[in-house]
Amino acid sequence: MQNDMKLIDTTLLAAVLAVAPPMILPAQSATAEPDHKQVGINAIGEVDVIKAEVTGNEMTIILMFQNTAGERKEYDFDTAGTHYFDKGANKKHFMLKDTQKKWVASNVKYNSKSSGFQFAINENGKKLIWMKFPAPAAGIESIDLSIPGVLPFDGLKVSR
């Protein structure tokens, strides 16, 4: 699938996301067009991949969740099951963890037994989420992204 959409400047976005408190964006404030769209998260919203970009040995994936349910909704998705599949290496790659064994991603909440992406979105609101993975091998141009509770993103284009 050919896609000529413009993406958000990754350096600026990463800096903003690193220091900004979690926020819910009103629907009209999102300016980036999605790279790959999926509809349906338990019938309460939509998820768009804003980008999947490799820098060095890491890949950053940014998602935009939109609540289309007509009322405020709570989201809770399993972090441990979130991965991408590299068809070239025939291997699953899970999100990166830091030295304290915490996921390198936004909006991850931990309890005594598990962790998950947890956030709320008001009616017709949007929320940006980011996560980091090991980079796919050189020459890999697309991946299949899997997030529990969200339809899979097959053939997701990776930019370098």
The proportion of the chain whose per-residue pLDDT surpasses 90, expressed as a percent, equals 37
pLDDT per residue over 105-157, tens digit each?
Answer: 988 887 756 678 888 889 999 989 999 999 999 899 999 999 988 889 999 99
- What is the token pair recorded at 127? 């929320």
Average pLDDT score, the chain: 78
Rounded average pLDDT over 61-70: 90
Q: Do residues 148 and 95 touch, judged by C-beta distance below 8 A?
A: no
Cα 50 from Cα 68, distance rounded (Å): 18
Q: Name which of 76, 113, 109, 80 is nearest 95 in CA terms.
A: 80
Domains of the chain: 10-157 (2.60.40)
Per-residue pLDDT band for 4 (boundaries 50, 70, 90) equals: very low
11: pLDDT strictly greater than 70: no
Q: What is the pLDDT of residue 136?
A: 94
14: pLDDT strictly greater than 60: no
95: pLDDT strictly greater than 80: yes
